[in-house]
């Protein structure tokens, strides 16, 4: 892995790069048409504290992000929800994702979160293989439910 990788808290100036990574992920998932907000809404939501993020930066370019927010588990207490974890396609399988993921998990531990939760599409085998390298639990008992307003 390149030791010039910098992982840091995102700032407002990173939002266009983060939005670009989200759009790249949507394209990978063949769901570009489902991205219904624009970068201006991302900036507004970031400013208001709806979400936070870390970015991975290589040679001054943002190549990855974890987008997260705090929530609550009635059984476990403080929880962090990982909304998206993205490494730009040209930088995958080089250790950058592992570095970012571990940084994010360490952060969650440092803020005394009791659980970190996220979702992965059942067909996304590369992501599933990545997660299986870590002490995570896949939960087949729970179904994702959503009501799109």
pLDDT tens digits in sequence order for the chain, 149 residues long = 456 999 999 999 999 999 999 999 999 999 999 999 999 999 999 999 999 999 999 999 999 999 999 999 999 999 999 999 999 999 999 999 999 999 999 999 999 999 999 999 999 999 999 999 999 999 989 988 989 88
Q: Which CATH number goes with the domain that contains 84?
A: 3.40.630.30
* Other Cβ atoms within 10 Å of 45 Cβ, number: 14
Q: Which residues contact 117 (CB under 8 A, 6 or more apart)?
A: 71, 73, 79, 80, 81, 82
Tally of domains in the chain = 1
Enclosing domain of residue 47? 6-132
How buried is 115 (Cβ within 10 angstroms: 0-12 exposed, 13-18 middle, 19+ buried)? Answer: middle
Domain membership of residue 139 (yes or no) is: no
Active-site residue, from 28, 69, 70, 131: 131
Domain membership of residue 40 (yes or no) is: yes
Instruction: Give the whole-angstrom CA distance, residue 92 versus residue 86.
Output: 9
In a 3-state reduction of DSSP, which class is residue 88? Answer: coil
Dihedral Cα 40, 42, 43, 48, nearest 10 deg: 130
Spatial contact of 79 and 73, defined as CB atoms under 8 Å apart:
yes
Domain membership of residue 11 (yes or no) is: yes
Domain membership of residue 30 (yes or no) is: yes
Domain membership of residue 107 (yes or no) is: yes
* Secondary structure of 105-145 as H, E, C letters: HHHHHHCCCCEEECCCCCCCHHHHHHHHCCCCCCCCCCCCC
Domain membership of residue 32 (yes or no) is: yes
Domain membership of residue 143 (yes or no) is: no
Assess whether 131 carries a catalytic annotation.
yes
Tokens coding 105: 């998990």
Domain membership of residue 119 (yes or no) is: yes
């Amino acid at each position: 892995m390149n030791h010039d990788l910098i992982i840091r808290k995102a700032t407002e100036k990173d939002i266009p790069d983060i939005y670009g990574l989200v759009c790249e992920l949507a394209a990978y998932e063949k769901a570009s048409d489902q991205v219904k907000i624009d970068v201006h809404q991302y900036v507004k939501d970031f400013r208001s504290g709806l979400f936070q993020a870390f970015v991975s930066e290589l040679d001054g370019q943002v190549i990855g992000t974890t987008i997260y927010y705090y929530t609550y588990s009635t059984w476990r207490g403080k929880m962090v929800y990982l909304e998206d974890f993205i490494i730009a396609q040209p930088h995958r399988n080089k250790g950058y994702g592992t570095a970012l993921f571990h940084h994010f998990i360490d952060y969650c531990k440092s803020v005394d979160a009791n659980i970190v939760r996220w979702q992965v599409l059942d067909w996304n085998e590369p992501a599933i293989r990545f997660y299986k390298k870590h002490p995570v639990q896949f939960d087949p008992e729970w179904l994702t439910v959503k009501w799109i307003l």
